[in-house]
Amino acid sequence: MWLLRKVVAKISPASFWRMYAKDFFLDPWQHAIFPQQKDLLRFIKKNKVHTILEAGCGFGRNLQYLVEHGVPATHLHGVDITSSLLKKACQVPILKQAVLESADVLNLPYQNNNFDLVFTHGLLMHIPPKKIEKAFRELIRTSRKYVVIYEEVSKQGNINTYTYGHDYFQLAKTYKLKMLFSIVDNRKLLWMHLEK
């Protein structure tokens, strides 16, 4: 099965995620809460952020955490390309008032400057290098003020068949974003807070 996933990942990330979604959802690691969620919540509260988009929301773990800690579900939007994971997010009772939609980060279905904050948590690292600039531009385009990312940076280029290391510092510089905060943690995960 993994050999097939490797081949499919090279051809179509959306197809890969359709194949991998069940295993992804069943992995206890994917349901854990990590310091990044707490950091995001602090950022939202400190900056009085109201409208929020998570690109790559999967089954809604991050959005659920935010609602459980006081962010109104009505302030939240989430998009994902994997319908089975999105369906799971739609089944979370406290996310009933959030807007959850099928969409690709390469073509977000929102107007420019639509959200106070756009964030990713483990999405951009699955975007192939030839498409990372387009994805990054979409995050910036749909954000009114802030972009926050939590992404693996263990190395540049292919980390594995469906994970890539990107130079997010260079992307932020290229698009003239103000760096508010950045750190690479002990798991080689970049936490980056940016302002337009």
| Choice among 69-73, 92-96, 152-156 with the minimum mean pLDDT | 152-156
Residue appearing with tokens 């800690």:
69
86 φ, ψ (degrees, to nearest 5):
-60, -40
Residue 106 lies in a domain: yes
Residue appearing with tokens 């999405």: 123
Residue 146 within any structural domain of the chain = yes
Q: How confident is the model over 94-128, as pLDDT tens digits?
A: 999 999 999 999 999 999 999 999 999 999 999 98
Q: What is the pLDDT of residue 171?
A: 97
Q: Is residue 175 part of a domain?
A: yes
**Count of alpha carbons within 13 angstroms of residue 53, beta-carbon side:** 29
Residue 108 maps to a domain? yes
Give residue 48's region: left, alpha or beta (phi > 0; psi -120 to 50).
Answer: left
Of 119, 61, 129, 125, nearest to 92 by C-alpha is: 61
Q: Does residue 63 fall inside a structural domain?
A: yes
pTM: 0.92
Say whether pLDDT at 2 is over 90.
Answer: no
Residue 59 maps to which CATH number?
A: 3.40.50.150
Residue 16 belongs to a domain: no
- Choose among 78, 167, 173: nearest CA to 119: 78
* Rg value, the chain, Cα: 16
**Separation CA 146–CA 44 (nearest Å):** 10
Q: What's the mean pLDDT in 135-151?
A: 98
Q: What is the C-alpha separation between 23 and 179, in angstroms, rounded?
A: 36
Residue 95 lies in a domain: yes
Note down the domain range covering 118. Answer: 50-195
Query: Per the structure, how many domains does the chain have?
Result: 1
Band of the pLDDT at 25, cuts 50, 70, 90? confident
In a domain, 61, yes or no: yes
Task: Look at residue 80 and give its three-state secondary structure.
Answer: strand
Q: Which residue has the higher pLDDT, 145 or 10?
A: 145
Q: Label residue 8 by pLDDT band (50, 70, 90).
A: very low
pLDDT grade for 11, boundaries at 50, 70 and 90: low
